[in-house]
Amino acid sequence: MSILNVLYQSNNSYAPITGVSMTSLMENNKDIEVINFYVLDDQISDENVEKMKSVCAKFGRNIIFVDTEEILNQLKSLKVAPFKNTYTTYFKLFAIHNLDLPTDRVLQLDGDTVINGSLKALCEMDLTDCVCAATYDCTMNSYKPMIDIPLTDKYYNCGVLLINQKAWRDDHCQQRIVEHLAHVRNGYYTVDQDIINVLFRKKIKYLDLTYNFNSGFFIYGVKESLKMYDLKPEYYNTVEEIEAAMKDPVIYHCMGAMTGRPWEKDSIHPQNDIFDRYLAISPWHDFEKVTVNRKRIFKMQRMLYKALPRPMYIPLHRLAQRKYLSDMNKMVNP
């Protein structure tokens, strides 16, 4: 019997987006006998809790809400800075160890994912000798040395993690995270993702790109993205691998600020249609898309993205992204 355990973390403002992700997962995985959702609850409203329960009941799936107050207190005691005014993104680091799972694994998903196909293979993927499986992250390669990772090392995206809970416990991952935050460094720009890469990247198994396909490849182009971020086959995917996965990804990761996100007003995001499809069949079908007030520098960059041919825009984006990452790294780690 196939059993899929799924972990989300969400605050109330992100709950409708997470709910759409859950809906898409259930709609495309009706052949999995048992699906258990675990939601790390950062003050989700009663209304959104009931909507999550109702959509799970509709598909005959289980959902458990995990209280995060103890985790929040621990993070504050470690003097960890909030990420975009919230601690939510840290929660999984402190929840995985104690989850009461019926199998050895849990699939952690960010709320900004849309599931477009079957996840059944992940129920049985071999996770021997690794704490988790993940895809590579499409980010500036020059960011790695800022967090003491060599340029040629692989760096993974943690928006989709297939976690081996037994290995996580046996390797004392949570204890190592606490010790690192307490004694080495407690400020990272991409927060949980940086911490997992810094501590565990040598024990991460590669997960096929189809299970976490970054929307940036649709927005900027495949070859353009690799050039922009200085990503080479020694530590990233090849053009051929990306183009193959791009045809029909199992999981879309709806990233890409230049276009706006699918749940934002005036978005021109490439995954707008697929997000809206699952939004329409979810309990959040009347969700009013949000207005995001971005800084002037971002608005200028977005204007250039819309106006310039890609070969002219890409070098400007690379310069802006390098400066942004450097500035953010200095801010979180003075």
CB 254 within 8 A of CB 114: yes
Instruction: State the pLDDT at residue 302.
Output: 86
Separation CA 20–CA 113 (nearest Å)? 9
Torsions phi, psi for 92 (to 5 deg): -60, -30
Alpha-carbon distances of 69 from 40, 44, 72, 73, rounded to whole Å: 10, 13, 5, 6
- The topology (CATH level 3) of 3-294 is Spore Coat Polysaccharide Biosynthesis Protein SpsA; Chain A (3.90.550)
Amino acid at 266: D
pLDDT at 82: 82
Q: How far apart are CA 163 and CA 28, in angstroms?
A: 21
Three-state secondary structure of 215-281 = CHHHHHCHHHHHHHHCCCCCCCCCHHHHHHHHCCCCEEECCCHHHCCCCECCCCCCCHHHHHHHHHC
Q: What is the pLDDT along the chain (334 residues), one digit of tens a residue?
A: 999 999 999 999 999 999 999 999 999 999 999 999 999 999 999 999 999 999 999 999 999 999 999 999 999 999 998 877 889 999 999 999 999 999 999 999 999 999 999 999 999 999 999 999 999 999 999 999 999 999 999 999 999 999 999 999 999 999 999 999 999 999 999 999 999 999 999 999 999 999 999 999 999 999 999 999 999 999 999 999 999 999 999 999 999 878 999 999 999 999 999 999 999 999 999 999 999 888 888 888 889 998 999 889 999 999 989 998 999 999 998 8
Length of the chain: 334
The sheet with strand 251-253 has its strands ordered as 113-115, 251-253, 213-214
Domain definitions of the chain by residue range: 3-294
Smallest CA-to-CA distance from 67 within 38, 40, 97, 46 is with 40
In this predicted structure, what is the pLDDT of residue 257?
A: 75
pTM: 0.96
For residue 293, give both structure tokens: 């007030």
